[in-house]
Amino acid sequence: MIFKHQFLHTIKRVGFIIMTLIVPVVALLGIGIFYLVSEIARPSVAEEVKIGYVDSSGIFGQYTSQGNITLLRFDTPDDATEALVREDIKEYFVISPDYTSTGQINRYTLEKQLEVPPATAAAIKNFLTSNILTGKVPQATIYVIEAPLNLITTRLTETGTVATEQGGWGNLIVPGLFSFLLAFSIIFSANYMLSGLVDEKENRLIEVLLSSVSTRQLLTGKVLGLGAAGLIQVAIWLVSLPLLLNLASSTIGGFFSAIQLPGNFIVLGLVYFILGYLFFVVVSSGIGAISTSTQEGQQLVTILTLPVFIPFWFGSFLFIFPNNPIWVVLSIFPITAPVEVMLRLGVSDVPVWQIAVSMIVLVLSILGGLFLAIRIFRTYLLMYGKKPSMREIVQSLRSG
């Protein structure tokens, strides 16, 4: 009965419903808006850009067509400036007489810019390179010099075959998003448990409950009720993700076509969500038993849940050093394990032994936390207006 009540009460919360539906609903809206905007704003033909140049060295006159950018020659900087003011050209640059020894180029524009647009910089560079090398090396060599690297990386398995998961940013999107939602869902679940216990304690409803059920039944029912609600939440997320990815890939394509789901992501996502959910709910129940008010309890829970975001704070180092021992420790430490493992799945392969140890530590932490929380419940749940000290809590656990 406690499990049923806690489960129904949780899934009827407005915050829980919003958190559950926000992923598929926002994703559908995003896909639809992106598709409509891209269709409306899609140009029929690439816009031609005109850029002027003044060649004081006298060696640059060919290769004036660089994609959709056309370079127009002017005799003097004054002529180029007049054309720029009339908006006949978008900008212009001046090649100094001693360019071949100094490489100096002076660029002039009417726009305030932080840096040269990449397309413009590439067009000017290719224009200069082609003119300098023409007649000295074959045309094919000029093309290679302009674009010397077309790097294609293929990941192989240990048997030498092409791996199904090739990695890259596309492989990180879904685990990163899921771990972010997991962190917030864990915090919400801890606050649900805490606020429920403290409210029942302040309203003296907990006394009525404990007259009918044992402390173990009360706490276990609440923990499992929240866990079942969390399971429904994550199941909706994980089922909707592949469908949303297929929809985005078929309607929008491009970058969305490169997004991949790691092979073991759905199973591990479910397991770590449930374990993380249960761990923080158990801990928050112990905090709720010793808290004299909801505000006080939320402060303690916030201190406990802040480390959940450690993997995000140092995420850039995870991309650079994916197999650093620090990440192994965070993958095993129960507070950071659910989020850290999900992030690492998108960056690199996580060894099986690390996943196994991580799950074992989480399970033992949940069981140990539940055992300690029941003892704290029995001792402090019916105490009002007095917050026990840490020394008193330790003494009561030893004698409990």
- CATH number of the domain to which 125 belongs: 3.40.190.10
**pLDDT per residue rounded down to tens, the chain (400 residues):** 888 888 888 888 887 888 788 778 887 887 778 777 766 655 555 578 899 999 888 888 888 888 888 999 999 999 999 999 998 999 999 988 888 788 888 899 988 887 888 888 888 888 888 888 887 777 777 777 776 666 655 656 667 675 555 555 556 666 777 777 777 777 777 777 777 777 777 677 776 777 788 878 888 888 888 778 877 887 787 777 777 777 776 666 555 655 666 667 778 888 888 888 888 888 887 777 777 666 777 777 777 777 787 777 766 666 556 667 888 888 889 888 888 888 887 777 788 888 899 999 999 998 888 888 777 777 665 555 555 566 666 665 565 5
Instruction: Tell whether 2 is covered by a domain.
Output: no
- For residues 206 and 244, state if they share a domain: yes
pLDDT, one tens digit per residue, over 22-55 is 778 887 887 778 777 766 655 555 578 899 999 8
Cβ count near 10 (within 10 Å) = 24
- For residues 134 and 229, state if they share a domain: no
The pLDDT value recorded for residue 85 is: 92
Instruction: Tell whether 119 is covered by a domain.
Output: yes
- For residues 211 and 264, state if they share a domain: yes
Last residue of a domain, one of 100, 117, 146: 146
- For residues 111 and 254, state if they share a domain: no
Instruction: Tell whether 354 is covered by a domain.
Output: yes
Domain count, the chain: 2
Rounded to an integer, what distance in angstroms lies between the CA atom of residue 389 and that of residue 395?
Answer: 10
Instruction: Tell whether 103 is covered by a domain.
Output: yes
- For residues 312 and 386, state if they share a domain: yes
Last residue of a domain, one of 114, 146, 178: 146
User: To the nearest whole number, what is the mean pLDDT of the chain?
Assistant: 77
Print the domain residue range for 225: 164-399
The pLDDT value recorded for residue 227 is: 78
The pLDDT value recorded for residue 72 is: 92
- For residues 235 and 137, state if they share a domain: no
The pLDDT value recorded for residue 51 is: 92
Instruction: Tell whether 27 is covered by a domain.
Output: no
Rounded to an integer, what distance in angstroms lies between the CA atom of residue 285 and that of residue 372?
Answer: 10
Instruction: Tell whether 18 is covered by a domain.
Output: no
- For residues 197 and 340, state if they share a domain: yes
Question: Of 22, 372, 350, which is closest to residue 180 (Cα–Cα)?
Answer: 22
- For residues 95 and 129, state if they share a domain: yes
The pLDDT value recorded for residue 364 is: 94
Instruction: Tell whether 15 is covered by a domain.
Output: no
